[in-house]
Amino acid sequence: MKRRKLFCEISPLTYAISMQKMRIIRHIKNIFSGTRFAKTKADPLPILVYKHTSLIRRKLGDIDMQLQENKAANLALAAPKINGVLVKPGQTFSFWKLVGPCNKRRGYKEGLTISSGKPARGVGGGMCQYTNLIHWLVLHSPLEITEHHHHDGVDLFPDYGRKVPFGCGTSIVYNYLDYRFINNTGTTFQVLTHLTETHLCGELRACTPLPYSYHILEEDAHFTKIDEHYYRKNTIVKQTIDKRTGQELNRGIIKKSHAKVMYPYP
């Protein structure tokens, strides 16, 4: 029996209407939720918690490299809106509350996006790399992630200079698919980001030293064949280590991946 189309699938117009409806709903929720959003900026805090760099221009299958150049321009527009933001105790970091809409009017260009599990093009494309970086920083801290969406179920491109485990990515769409975390500690944290010619760079800083360190491990990483298709599987684990004793205090699973490989398996 043929599946009945959703309203958003009928035409480009109904899709745009559905998107706008979702954005209005999220905006209303933001107003009445009582959430204290982080927005104050300051000079760098003294304690470095974790830092990471992410290569901007990557070879992704046969994707047009101009989309990578456009992504670099998009990231350069967004970076100053995040750089230096303080996340004080009780506050929530929201990517979209800080960055705002990434549209042509604000100078954003067409970049690579992911739609329905497939590569696509869209104005403002490439912002996922930004939230990927922030997510990796936050995983190495006691901050609590409150909203995180995945590109679940597919492995779209072969690894190219991968520095973090597969499955640690993020999926965002203005403004109803956000990346958020809350600071439930007694310490103020800060997100610092900037671009070099080749990399997106990020630091997570704090006002006081932390008693624990955090390590992200990939376990049981492998490819498996089911029927005629290959799948990528792994488990992402977070360790909490007491800095004073070196003892592991906690070990928890963050995510298990089971993704269909969408490129020719070597």
Q: Does residue 54 fall inside a structural domain?
A: yes
**CA 183/CA 185 separation, integer angstroms:** 6
Q: Does residue 248 fall inside a structural domain?
A: no
Q: Does residue 114 fall inside a structural domain?
A: yes
Q: Does residue 227 fall inside a structural domain?
A: no
Torsion of CA 153, 159, 164, 168, to 10 degrees: -10
Domains: count for the chain: 1
Whole-number pLDDT of residue 72:
96
Q: Does residue 110 fall inside a structural domain?
A: yes
Beta-bridge partner residues of 235? 219, 256
Give the gyration radius of the chain's Cα atoms.
Answer: 19
**Sign of the CA dihedral 152, 157, 158, 164?**
negative
Across 156-177, b (16+ Cβ under 10 Å) vs e yields: bbeeeeeebbbbbbbbbbbbbb
The stretch 200-226 carries a mean pLDDT of: 97
Q: Does residue 250 fall inside a structural domain?
A: no
The pTM score is 0.94
Query: Residue 2's pLDDT band (boundaries 50, 70, 90)?
Result: low
Q: Does residue 27 fall inside a structural domain?
A: no
* CB of 220 closer than 8 Å to CB of 109: no
Cis peptide before 175 (omega within 30 of 0): yes
- The whole domain housing 45 covers 36-209
Q: Does residue 263 fall inside a structural domain?
A: no
pLDDT in tens, 83-137: 999 999 999 999 999 999 999 999 999 999 988 778 889 999 999 999 999 999 9
